[in-house]
Amino acid sequence: MRAGRPRDEGVRRAILVAAQELVLERGYAAVTMGDVAKRAGAGKQTLYRWWPGKGALVLDAFSEWVSQAPRLRGPRRPSLSSTLVELCRGASEAAPVLRALMAEAQFDEDLHRRLLAQLVRPRGDELRACLVDRRPADRELVVNVLSGLVWQRLMLNEPLDARFVRFALRVVERI
């Protein structure tokens, strides 16, 4: 939910920044809504007005992290490989948070829906946008395969490094 008034928007930004800082400093599991409220100089009830719980708040704080796709840098359509490199870089940096959120989502349906809407689908759309030359059926197939490989690596705590990107692109070439 977006806050409308400028003052609200300022408080909201402060809360998101505090959540991001604290999770990076202490790890997802060690941070509470109270910690975030204190760091942001906001009331705990303000946090609960905008977010149902820690999962949804941390998801908002990090969902932009993995979406710095290279399309933002220029007018040309980005290549699949540069998009995948950026996606893996972002996912690598935020890996502990992403793993924690996906884990918590297994027990929390609302967070599961948010994770799909804010992270899984938008990243799929970024990949899909690089595949306009492919037949629509193939496009879905490639997006599914890449998304599966990335999430599997994350959950198995294996690196999303340059070697992985080469491997994933080799898979895509064959499809």
Q: Which residues bind its own copies (CB under 8 A)?
A: 29, 99-100, 102-104, 106-107, 112, 116, 120, 141, 144-145, 147-149, 151-153, 155-157, 167, 170-171, 174-175
Whichever of 141 and 165 has its CB closer to its own copies, that residue is 141
Name the minimum Å distance from CB 31 to its own copies: 13
* 42 or 111: CB nearest its own copies: 111
The nearer residue to its own copies, 12 or 114, going by C-beta atoms, is 114
Q: Are the CB atoms for 142 and 134 separated by under 8 Å?
A: yes
Q: Residue type for 110, please?
A: D
* Minimum distance from residue 43 beta carbon to its own copies (Å): 29
Smallest gap, in angstroms, from Cβ of residue 44 to its own copies? 24
Taking the complex as a whole, the smallest distance from the CB of residue 140 to its own copies amounts, in Å, to 9
Q: What is the spatial distance between Cα 121 and Cα 146, in angstroms, rounded to a whole number? A: 13
Degrees to nearest 5, angle at CA 81 with 141 and 155: 65
Percentages (nearest 5) of helix, strand, coil residues in the chain:
75, 0, 25
Nearer to its own copies, 89 or 99 (CB): 99
Q: Which is nearer to its own copies, 40 or 150 (CB)?
A: 150
Provide the strand spans (E) within the chain: none
Measured from the CB of residue 175, what is the shortest distance to its own copies in angstroms? 5
Q: Nearest 5 degrees, angle CA 32-CA 34-CA 40?
A: 110
Helix 162-174 to helix 136-155 angle (10° resolution) is 150
User: How many whole angstroms separate alpha carbon 160 and alpha carbon 152?
Assistant: 10
N residues, the chain: 175
